[in-house]
Structure 1
Amino acid sequence: MLRMVERDHLTVRSELPLLNKVQQWFEQFCLQYLFQRGWSDNQLYRLNLALAEGFTNAVRHAHEALPPETTIDIEVSLWVDRMEIRIWDHGQPFNPDAIAEPKPGTPQEGGYGWFLLRRLTDRVVYERSPDERNCLLIIEYSHQ
């Protein structure tokens, strides 16, 4: 059975300017635990972009009608073979499979984030957790 190597957690208010804090926290985690394990700069760049997309979607969409003090919880778990990023929000759940994929070159308002997430990482799961929060799970395998 593969084991977890390291885990960290961050809770922030639902405010877009806190994206910098979220990304700095993530980059520090990567510097501390990933580089010596052979993860590429490209993988870390894509994971950071996926984290930014997930966080901004939670602020802009899930928490749109909620006060800014509503929290977003983020957890990063490093396993021997993969990294998992979980982003929990308090918004209304939605079905990402119901979003039509934008056709290249066709203007569309919204919906690009979900497809961007799926292209940036190996696996993306969105589900309602038992505590009535939504969890966006982003998984990237080490590819070593």
Structure 2
Amino acid sequence: MADTFACSFTATELDARSGISLVVKRLRDFNLPEERVGDVQIALAEAVNNVVEHAYSGQATGDVRIRCDLEREQLWIRISDAGPPFPDDQLPAGERADVSGPLEDLPEGGFGWFLIRELTNRIHYERQNGNNQLSLCFELSTLKGS
């Protein structure tokens, strides 16, 4: 039997922080390994912050919906928003950034998708009924971020 929970919040920085904290608390309530909860928290924060910063930029803010499905050794987190679709309906590549140069020359962004891809076991995106649906899968028996 799967454990499922969901939450939604307005796509603001403050509400996103509260929503992510709620998800993390629920995962801890399920006694998931703390190291894996940390991986989930980082990937979820990156994905949700992308929604806040990009999905609703230039328009009145919208909602972010998160659904978590925990079954055996797998956790699926589905993040939905009504912002515009990704270009060409494709997620960014998320390649490792070159950090060997001076700090002031580092790009402002571009690290998030790399982290998301590194910390998840599978990732899926689709546009459905005018909504972005991003699904992140975490195998609970593997520790990706350690």
Query: How far did residue 81 of structure 1 move?
Result: 2.2
CA RMSD in angstroms comes to 1.9
- For residues 98 and 115 of structure 1, what CA distance do their matches in structure 2 show? 7
Partner of 1:46 in structure 2? 39
Q: Which runs of 5+ in 2 are unaligned?
A: none
**Equivalences, count:** 135
Query: How far did residue 27 of structure 1 move?
Result: 2.3
Q: 1:27 to 1:105 in 2, by over 3 A?
A: same
| Matches for 1:96-135 after TM superposition, within 5 Å | 96-97=91-92, 101-105=96-100, 107-129=106-128, 131-135=129-133
Deviations 1:81-112 (A, max 9, x none): 20011111111211224666533436234322
Give the TM-score of the pair, scaled to structure 1. 0.83
- For residues 16 and 94 of structure 2, what CA distance do their matches in structure 1 show? 25
- For residues 12 and 130 of structure 2, what CA distance do their matches in structure 1 show? 21
| Matches for 1:30-45 after TM superposition, within 5 Å | 30-33=27-30, 35=31, 39-45=32-38
**Which of 16, 19, 24 is the matching residue for 2:21?**
24
Tell whether the 8 Å contact from 2:28 to 2:34 is kept in structure 1 after alignment: no
Q: Percent identity?
A: 26
Q: 1:83 to 1:65 in 2, by over 3 A?
A: same
